[in-house]
Amino acid sequence: MKTIIICAGGPEDELIPLAPFAEEDACFIGADRGAVHLLKAGITPAAAIGDFDSVTAEEFAAIEASGCPVDRWPAEKNETDTELALQTALQMDPGRVIITGVTGGRLDHMFSAIQLLGRYAALQTGTELLLANRQNEMRILHAGSSEANRNAAYPYLSFFPLTETVEGLTLRGVKYEVTGETMHFGDTRFTSNEILGPSCTISFRTGICLMVRSSDS
């Protein structure tokens, strides 16, 4: 499965570890200052995209000198730099896209990225879309049945509706199982569950759900 990592310009200390993905021959795209983060990690991005208003002239010169294709946009545009990077990534027909560097720093960037995840997950159903940092992984779930494998790096499992309601929620293989429940927008009841066995199943009839997997460290 082809994996593309989009690195945005959030704080470096909240980025996922990039080296393991480089060893797996993943493709990297830098969104604005994310291209600087990648170069600092010894990774030359396949593309650098954005208005680059958060990089210095010297840093932008280093991006150009790396030899990666640079797609520079005006600061006044409809799309965020992350969305432009995601559009480019999806043109490469990946099996999975992981976006990092959007959950620290400015909260408007984080909420924008979550909205982006929900919209493109509905449009690009054949590609797994994730937001991730060192402590969390977020994925959109649509109506039907899904499976989540146990992962020691992310022991806690939470669910939040992105629509007014998520109906018929059934959780199996977790510490707190439920059957046919309705989640309402604003509910916190479905926070901090845990997978007990090798995997768990999540199913619901209607709505769109955000699944967050987290760690305390």
- Over residues 127-136, the pLDDT tens digits come to 889 999 999 9
For residue 5, what are the β-bridge partners?
A: 28, 98
- For residues 117 and 149, membership in a common domain is answered with no
Distance CA 135, CA 153 (A): 8
Helix (H) / strand (E) element for 58: namely helix 57-65
CA nearest 112: which of 141, 90, 85?
85
- For residues 152 and 119, membership in a common domain is answered with no
Examine the fold and report which residue of 76, 109, 134 is the final residue of a domain before the chain moves on: 134
- For residues 206 and 115, membership in a common domain is answered with no
The per-residue pLDDT for 48 is 97
Instruction: State how many domains the chain has.
Output: 2
Burial label, 45 (beta-carbon count in 10 A; 0-12, 13-18, 19+): buried
Burial label, 93 (beta-carbon count in 10 A; 0-12, 13-18, 19+): exposed
Q: Assess contact for 38 and 7: CB atoms under 8 A.
A: yes
The CATH number of whichever domain residue 104 belongs to comes to 3.40.50.10240
- For residues 43 and 62, membership in a common domain is answered with yes
- For residues 144 and 158, membership in a common domain is answered with yes
- Structural domain including 163 reads 138-214
Instruction: Tell me the pLDDT tens digit for each residue of 134-147.
Output: 999 999 898 999 99
- For residues 41 and 110, membership in a common domain is answered with yes
Look at the pTM and tell me if it is higher than 0.85: yes
- For residues 29 and 129, membership in a common domain is answered with yes
- For residues 171 and 123, membership in a common domain is answered with no
- For residues 155 and 200, membership in a common domain is answered with yes
Instruction: Tell me the pLDDT tens digit for each residue of 164-202.
Output: 999 999 999 999 999 999 999 988 999 999 999 999 999
